[in-house]
């Protein structure tokens, strides 16, 4: 058995999950989806199993994950599965991924799972306590060990939805996702900004440029991954007006350098 584990990660959860999975699967390799998108050329899958690990956005999948499917040649894949991570509810993320996979790659989703990890969407909530974070991460790791066994055994899960429901879910997700690139208007930077440029470097889609004055400026292709806000070393970046003072979250074992590295095909592994 050979396995390719694809991942997209804003603040480390999906990268950590992908690494845990690769560590438990024989002949497995890890590939950053942001790296494929940055390369902007077809990626030929060389393994017979493909696993996608991603966070839940808008009760669905990140727009980047959908777009990058157009670049992956999965003709060799006999088994395609997905793992969605979220803080509380995965919504219809797996169902939507199944629909996008079918329409973009002509492949059926063989299986899918949800794992629960600490949330990072500071515009809605602050971080959990350190004790809760460690508990959630440990539980996620334990669940990933079970999932690895199921992947090895080739477990199958039916993701077919009634046509009307599938269409409704997909349309709702697309409407929500279509508005995310324009969320740059909701970011602001405070005077405490040091101009270090880390926010621009961690952005997985290069949506941030530094002005002549050394301040970040957001473009119009935001994924709402929150990497810029979470990794700012002085917490100078805010989103809307109520993130100030809220405790940030990034995976405690994934440094900014590894989020930056996912933009390269030689990225974090």
Residue 30 β-bridge partners: 5
- Tokens found for residue 1: 């058995």
**What's the 3-state SS for 5-20?**
EEECCCCCHHHHHHHH
pLDDT value at residue 160: 66
What's the CA angle centered on 13, arms 56 and 229, to 5 degrees?
A: 85
User: How far are the Cα atoms of 50, 72, 215 from residue 111, in angstroms, in the given order?
Assistant: 11, 19, 44
pLDDT at residue 259 is higher than 80: yes
Structural domains in the chain? Answer: 3-173 (3.40.50.360), 180-261 (3.30.70.20)
* Nearest alpha carbon to residue 215 among 234, 240, 242, 243: 234
Give per-residue pLDDT as tens, 107-127.
999 999 999 999 999 999 999
pLDDT value at residue 267: 63
Give per-residue pLDDT as tens, 169-218.
778 888 888 877 777 789 999 999 999 999 999 999 999 999 999 999 99
In this prediction, residue 1 has a pLDDT band, given cuts at 50, 70 and 90, of low
The whole-number average pLDDT for the span 48-66 is: 96
Mean pLDDT rounded to a whole number for the chain:
93
């Amino acid at each position: 058995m050979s396995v390719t584990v694809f991942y997209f990660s804003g603040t480390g959860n999906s990268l950590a999950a992908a690494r845990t999975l690769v560590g438990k699967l024989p002949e497995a390799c890890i590939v950053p989806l942001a790296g494929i998108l940055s390369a902007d050329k077809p990626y030929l899958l060389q393994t017979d199993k493909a696993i996608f690990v991603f966070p839940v956005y808008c009760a669905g999948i990140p727009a980047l994950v959908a777009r990058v499917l157009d670049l992956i040649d999965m003709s060799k894949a006999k088994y395609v599965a997905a793992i969605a991570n979220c803080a509380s509810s995965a919504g219809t993320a797996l169902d939507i991924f199944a629909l996008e996979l079918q329409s973009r790659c002509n492949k059926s989703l063989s299986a899918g799972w949800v794992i629960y990890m600490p949330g990072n969407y500071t515009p809605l909530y602050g971080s959990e306590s350190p004790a809760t974070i460690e508990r959630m991460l440990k539980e996620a790791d334990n669940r990933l060990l079970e999932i690895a066994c199921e992947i090895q055994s080739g477990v199958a899960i039916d993701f077919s939805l009634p046509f009307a429901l599938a269409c409704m879910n997909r349309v709702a997700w697309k409407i929500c996702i279509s508005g995310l690139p324009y969320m740059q208007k909701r970011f602001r930077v405070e005077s405490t900004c040091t101009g270090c440029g880390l926010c621009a470097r961690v952005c997985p889609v290069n949506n941030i440029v530094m002005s002549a004055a050394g301040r970040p400026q957001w473009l119009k292709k935001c994924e709402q991954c929150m990497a810029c806000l979470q990794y700012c070393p002085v917490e100078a970046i805010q989103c809307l007006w109520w993130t100030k003072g809220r405790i940030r979250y990034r995976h405690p074992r994934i440094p900014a350098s590894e989020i930056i590295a996912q933009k390269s095909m030689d990225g974090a592994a």
